[in-house]
């Protein structure tokens, strides 16, 4: 009886590892061809992996939340069918090992004379290749090692694909004879008993991907921010009037649709802001099309679906598409294609937007426009103090390719369109 192995697929875009978000099978389960085996999370979205064969699950590749290298084992089957079992690439036993051989002992047999050696099973060698021989560990493990004064290269890994996990740090400390510091003496008790409970919340799934992407963007991009106040009294009045006129026939307009339209028009004047920077190749690619990323908060974390060809949409089409993308993101139905390819991003916390913020650029873009909440403020008009609606735009830029003057002129252009909303319909 031979074993067959389903490997973690190559999902493209240079992704070297994926995270296990959910298992749909467990060892001992009988699985039909095309039945979903697992849900994996990439940098962009979650994907479901169907089984190319039918059979009984002998082993799964890791626990939920674990990172698996592309090409490593996802599921191992025991071939109990004894014959044909599915597609043409029937996934031979890993390393040619018999089914009853322990998984941890599966390695390729020594090559015979003149025979090319088979690739090694995913492990430390693969991990070092993927990471230029840099120890593989999560940001949390790296931070803990730094705090403990441990060199990660000295720690033997036990995780999948040669990954160093917290247990490896504990084992290293034990071998060194090091113990945690004694807890401080208890403080005198007051009227309310002190709490001792601790909750450990794993950073996994989409939350982990967000953390990795934000850390990478902040590490690679020298951000600078520019905050400008915008008088939105007139555009808010226009929005209310248009909604009252077309409420039963067209999508309801939000201020976000007007801001998106203003960004489109400003990008036509300043194409260097509607761009992506490949810092490895040293190339800035400017786009004629405005593919506007719209940061959307979901129950699982922040997602950035893409409003494609915003330059070709009117206000109502923008409002309709923004609403559709937001609903799809929150329901978990947004597609992989709808999460990639943005050229500039718009982010807003709505009524919770605060006075100012410093948004992180959606790498590899070079600019992000943040929207803060609307407040009523006194203003001088014709020598009189009158109430006006004001809102700050908090924007961040990549200082490697965007100068402060260009950023300021870009934001001032957006401000001009919003403060004189008739210009949004010109051209």
Catalytic residues: 399, 403
Residue located via tokens 């009524």: 351
Q: What is the sign, positive or negative, of the torsion defined by CA atoms of 245, 249, 252, 257?
A: negative
My answer on whether omega of the bond before 364 falls inside 30° of 0, hence cis, is yes
CB 320, CB 340: distance < 8 Å: no
CB 159, CB 150: distance < 8 Å: no
CB 367, CB 273: distance < 8 Å: yes
Closest CA to 41 of 81, 8, 71, 85: 8
Phi first, then psi: give them for residue 224, nearest 5 degrees: -140, 145
DSSP string, 389-408: EEEEEEEEEETTT--HHHHH
Pairing of strands 17-23, 67-69: antiparallel
Quote the DSSP letter at residue 86. B
Q: Which long-range contacts (CB under 8 A, 24 or more apart) does 81-89 make?
A: 81/54, 81/55, 85/4, 85/33, 85/53, 85/54, 85/55, 86/33, 86/51, 86/52, 86/53, 86/54, 87/33, 87/52, 87/53, 89/52
The β-bridge partners of 378 are 387
DSSP string, 108-150: PPPPPTTPPPPPPPSSHHHHHHHTTTPPEE-HHHHHHHHHHT-
Angle at alpha carbon of residue 378, lines to 377 and 383, rounded to 5°? 155
The β-bridge partners of 276 are 285, 365
Which helix or strand (DSSP H or E) is residue 66 part of?
Answer: none
């Amino acid at each position: 009886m031979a074993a067959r192995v389903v490997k973690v697929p190559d999902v493209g875009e240079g992704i070297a590892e994926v995270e296990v978000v959910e298992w749909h099978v467990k060892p001992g389960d009988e699985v039909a061809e095309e039945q979903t085996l697992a849900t994996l999370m990439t940098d962009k979205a979650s994907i479901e992996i169907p089984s190319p064969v039918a059979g009984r699950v002998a082993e799964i590749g890791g626990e939920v939340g674990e990172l698996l290298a592309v090409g490593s084992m996802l599921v191992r089957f025991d071939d109990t069918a004894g014959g044909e079992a599915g597609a043409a690439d029937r996934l031979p036993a890993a390393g040619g090992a018999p089914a009853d051989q322990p998984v941890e002992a599966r390695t390729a047999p020594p090559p015979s004379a003149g025979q090319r050696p088979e690739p090694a099973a995913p492990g430390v060698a693969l991990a070092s290749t993927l990471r230029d021989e840099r120890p593989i560990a999560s940001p949390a493990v790296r931070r803990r090692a730094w705090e403990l004064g441990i060199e990660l290269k000295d720690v033997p890994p036990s995780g999948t694909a040669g990954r160093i996990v917290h247990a490896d740090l504990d084992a290293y400390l034990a071998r060194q004879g090091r113990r945690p510091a004694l807890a401080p003496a208890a403080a005198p008790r007051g009227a309310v008993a002190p709490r001792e409970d601790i909750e450990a919340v794993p950073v996994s799934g989409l939350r982990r991907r967000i953390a990795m992407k934000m850390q990478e963007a902040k590490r690679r991009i020298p951000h600078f921010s520019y905050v400008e106040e915008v008088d939105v009294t007139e555009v808010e009045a226009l929005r209310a009037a248009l909604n009252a006129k077309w409420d039963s026939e067209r999508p309801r307009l939000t201020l976000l649709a007007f801001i998106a339209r203003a960004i489109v028009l400003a990008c036509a004047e300043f194409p260097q802001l509607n761009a992506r920077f490949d810092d490895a190749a040293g190339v800035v690619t400017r786009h004629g099309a405005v593919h506007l990323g719209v940061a959307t908060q979901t129950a699982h974390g922040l997602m950035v679906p893409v409003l494609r060809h915003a330059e070709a949409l009117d206000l109502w089409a923008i409002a309709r598409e923004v609403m559709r993308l937001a609903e799809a993101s929150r329901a978990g139905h947004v597609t992989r294609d709808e999460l990639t390819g943005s050229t500039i991003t718009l982010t807003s916390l709505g009524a919770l937007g605060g006075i100012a913020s410093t948004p992180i650029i959606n790498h590899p873009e070079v600019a992000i426009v943040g929207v803060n909440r609307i407040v009523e403020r006194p203003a001088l008009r014709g020598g009189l103090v009158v109430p006006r609606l004001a809102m700050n735009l908090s924007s961040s830029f990549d200082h490697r390719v965007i100068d402060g003057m260009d950023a300021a002129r870009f934001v001032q252009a957006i401000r001009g369109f919003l403060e004189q909303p008739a210009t949004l319909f010109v051209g």
